[in-house]
Amino acid sequence: MTISQDRITQVVSALKDYEPERIILFGSQARGNADQYSDLDIVIIKETDERFLDRLETVYELVQPRFAMDVLVYTPQEFTEMQERGNSFVEMLLREGVVVYERSHS
């Protein structure tokens, strides 16, 4: 099932309670070549003291997706460190990812 823009918007809306700094869509949905077997791939960047796996559990509890969804949650520091080390995943994310939410710093 191709995931509609409405569903992506619903996920982003549900995640606002999680207080993310940024939500980045990546994979086939971001590239625009999703098909019926595609899932929703997102990276969330936020300040948190939660352990890595606990972050994922929190996100799934908030969103309760009815479709396949892969989520990764990084702190800003973790994300910056991976970027500085030339992490190929982060490089791909910065090249192909689509920022679907960014908290305003007002």
88: domain CATH number is 3.30.460.10
Cβ contact 73:46 at 8 Å? yes
pTM for the structure as a whole: 0.89
Residue 53 · residue 63 · CB < 8 Å: no
Number of domains in the chain: 1
Whether residue 59 is predicted with pLDDT greater than 90 in this model: the reply is yes
> Among the ranges 2-11, 33-42, 68-77, which has the highest mean pLDDT value?
68-77
Q: Which residue has the higher pLDDT, 85 or 106?
A: 85
Mean pLDDT score of the chain: 91
Range of the domain at 42: 5-102
